[in-house]
Amino acid sequence: MNSFDVVILGAGAAGLMCAMAAGQRGRRVLVLDHANQAGSKILISGGGRCNFTNRDTVPERFFSENPHFAKSALRRYTPADFLGLIEKHRIAWHEKTLGQLFCDGSARAVVAMLLAECEAAGVVIRLNHRILDVSRAERFRVDTDRGSFEAPAVVLATGGLSIPKMGATDLSLRLAKRFGLALTPTRPALVPLTFAGEDLAMMQPLSGVALDSLARCGRGSFREAMLFTHRGLSGPAILQVSSLWREGEAITLDLLPDTDALAFLLERKRTRPRAELRTVLAELVPQRLALALAAGATRPMAELPDRELRRLAELLKNRRLLPSGTEGYAKAEVTLGGISTTALSSQTMEATAVPGLFAIGEAVDVTGWLGGYNFQWAWASGWAAGQAL
């Protein structure tokens, strides 16, 4: 039997950060993962450049049944702390937009950095290990297809359910449940929305068209790019509202967030009376969308009644759409819900009723906005547990 101070299940963002932090404090750390490489979601993140944190991280940009839970960890390990690590490893980075920090080069550098820190801290990482069972007597025992390991502490860090094709599983949720920890319902988030009927028929020919927009759902609104797809809508603004959307609810789109559309159309009717509607609309939105909105109208602006322009302005500024669903875990960047925060200490991520059992990262019911927030939660929760192990 291999004995350690802690066994971490999952060599992803949170697991590697936790391993590094605990290793640096002199703990004998084992990380187990069923995949053949560590940090596979880091590698594909941010279009291969890893949006590794967000400068504007505040607890309000995370969803959880308990919105206060993330505060302590986020305060103790900040975006500046992670940036310090990035700079220590001389990884070139840039701020893209809205506080989002990306690598200039490949996301591989972030994984290499975490692995180098783990190695320096004496962490043992074993990949290609299928976890068969976790039990607890005096110590925890982790049985795998390649041997058994024991430790006084186990960390659940196998992430969320999104992208099962890449090896995402519900292991942390199943184990948490088995040890009596409460779960909150899970659902795909940061995910494209699908549509049916007339809405889909309108969207499909526009597939590939992107534009700035203000997307709203319930109490949230996001000003970012959106994209028409062959199944509906995607792009950052839509991914953001998808985390708020629930079945049966509508979303509302403002396709011209900086423009008073009615004033613009009335002004053009006066100053460009001979112009066709599609030509005028193409001043504001991509040409294919302008064509679709004009819907074959070839009369000059002067001949369009004001009520018609008012209807069009309403469509541009306040379009209410009813999604039929989402593209599901196959396309979701993250999972909402998970191990209930009521079961965990917000200081240490340890299960209050099961000493020695910890849960971190996306497996926990804390989900960030798009834009580096989810990695910041992975780093912060991993670091918090690492200080307590």
Could you list the residues that contact ligand FDA (CB under 6 A)? 9-15, 33-35, 40-41, 44-46, 50-51, 131, 157-159, 162-163, 167-169, 171, 333-334, 361-363, 372-375, 378
Q: Looking at beta carbons only, is 9 or 193 nearer to ligand FDA?
A: 9
Cβ within 8 Å of residue 316, ≥6 positions away: 254, 255, 256, 261, 284, 285, 293
Q: Looking at beta carbons only, is 80 or 201 nearer to ligand FDA?
A: 80
Q: Looking at beta carbons only, is 21 or 277 nearer to ligand FDA?
A: 21
Q: Which of 334, 328, 331, 357 is nearest to 344 (CA)?
A: 357
Residue 104: exposure state from Cβ atoms within 10 A (0-12, 13-18, ≥19): exposed
Report, in Å, the least distance between residue 333 CB and ligand FDA.
4
Report, in Å, the least distance between residue 230 CB and ligand FDA.
19
CA distance 315 to 28: 61
Report, in Å, the least distance between residue 246 CB and ligand FDA.
21
Report, in Å, the least distance between residue 268 CB and ligand FDA.
40
CA distance 374 to 240: 13
Residue nearest ligand FDA (C-beta atom): 12
Q: Looking at beta carbons only, is 143 or 308 nearer to ligand FDA?
A: 143
Q: Looking at beta carbons only, is 264 or 377 nearer to ligand FDA?
A: 377
β-pairing, 6-9 with 153-156? parallel
Report, in Å, the least distance between residue 49 CB and ligand FDA.
8
Torsion of CA 242, 384, 115, 89, to 10 degrees: 90
CA distance 130 to 134: 12
Report, in Å, the least distance between residue 301 CB and ligand FDA.
44
Residue whose entry in the numeric block shows the structure tokens 């925060």: 341
Q: Looking at beta carbons only, is 33 or 254 nearer to ligand FDA?
A: 33
